Amino acid sequence: MNYVTQRLLTFPLILLGVSVLVFFSIRLIPGDAITAMLGTEAGLLTPAQRASLANYFGIDQPVWTQYARWLGGLFHGDLGISVTYGKPVLGVILERFPLTLELALLSVIIALAVGIPAGVYAATHNERASDLGVRLFAMLGQSTPSFVFGLLIIYVMSVYFGVIPALGTFTPIWVDPLANLSQLIFPAITLGFAFAASVTRISRSAMLDVLSDDYVRTARSKGVKARRVIWHHALPNALIPVVTLSGVEFGYLLGGAVIVEQIYALPGIGRLVLDAITQRDYALVEGAVLFIAFNFLIVNLLVDLCYVALDPRIRLGGR
């Protein structure tokens, strides 16, 4: 059984494990969903009304039955009904997902656009002052939490430039691309900054490795121009770890950047989960967390498959 087959076979198993963990851990949350939904008004319900509501949301069944029904529903795209929004969970998630997806893509683009050139530059100027400068930037970037950097951006923009980043609003890109970009650019820079630091470090380290390889030395000794050796011979191979890192980070970002969404008051998946947890919206938490974990696993699987395609040396047991 090769590496790809093994990864494909364990994928549904892990997904099943995730569904069990999500479903049963939510059931451990103290308090019941009906009280959470109606607040103090829940006290006005007659026992019959309460039982009828519990029946409607399916929470009057034994927990294993609820799980089996929930799992069965997943195959039909039915993640249940959100008690907060009174709508199907999948619909609520899909409304929020475009923002999260766009934010994740923008952040990764920013990080790669900054990180790869910076990493290559540092590697080709190894141990010089400029290399140390890039490394310092990368270390600071990795050590700056997104909430610190995000607040700093809001402060600097508002106090020194008189520009207050649009908080709390989101216009889909197909409605008004410019408005959309102005709303997402600062959150994307906030997320992209730390990730750019990681990309810089990884690409610098990978470039240093590749630049000392025999084939690069051969190309140099044959008189190939330095610029061509770096960009055509060395970089494609040095990018393999960057692909992995970007994939994993993209998977994380698809889970919603809870804190950055909170700072910029963006209605993304991360905040949806946070709100659903505080509102004890069982079905929404389960659905959204499963959705995030599913995306994360899919992206990781794709990254692994890309990795195998990019580097044929990887085989089962050879990692």
Binding mask 89-128 for other proteins (x = CB under 8 A): ----------------------------------------
Torsion of CA 111, 112, 115, 116, to 10 degrees: 180
Of the pair 92, 180, the CB lying nearest other proteins is at: 92
**Are 18 and 290 a contacting pair, CB within 8 Å?**
yes
- The residue within the footprint of other proteins, chosen from 63, 94, 152, 309 (CB under 8 A), is 152
187 by Cβ neighbours in 10 Å (0-12 / 13-18 / 19+) ranks as: buried
Beta bridge partners of residue 88, listed in sequence order: 81
CB of 193 closer than 8 Å to CB of 142: no
* 240 binds other proteins, rule: CB under 8 A: no
By CB under 8 A, residue 45 contacts other proteins: no
Tell me whether residue 56 or residue 147 sits nearer to other proteins (CB atom): 147
Tell which one of 201, 230, 246, 250 touches other proteins (CB under 8 A). 201
| Contacting range for other proteins; rule: CB under 8 A; set: 44-52, 62-70, 233-241, 277-285 | 277-285
Residue found under tokens 């750019």: 196
- Which of 116, 248, 98, 119 has the alpha carbon at shortest distance from 175? 98
Question: Does 305 contact other proteins by CB under 8 A?
Answer: no
d(C-alpha 21, C-alpha 286), whole Å: 10
- Which member of 204, 210, 235, 268 binds other proteins (CB under 8 A)? 204
Site for other proteins in 129-148 (CB under 8 A): 135, 138-140, 142-145, 147-148
Cβ-based nearer residue to other proteins, 30 or 312: 30
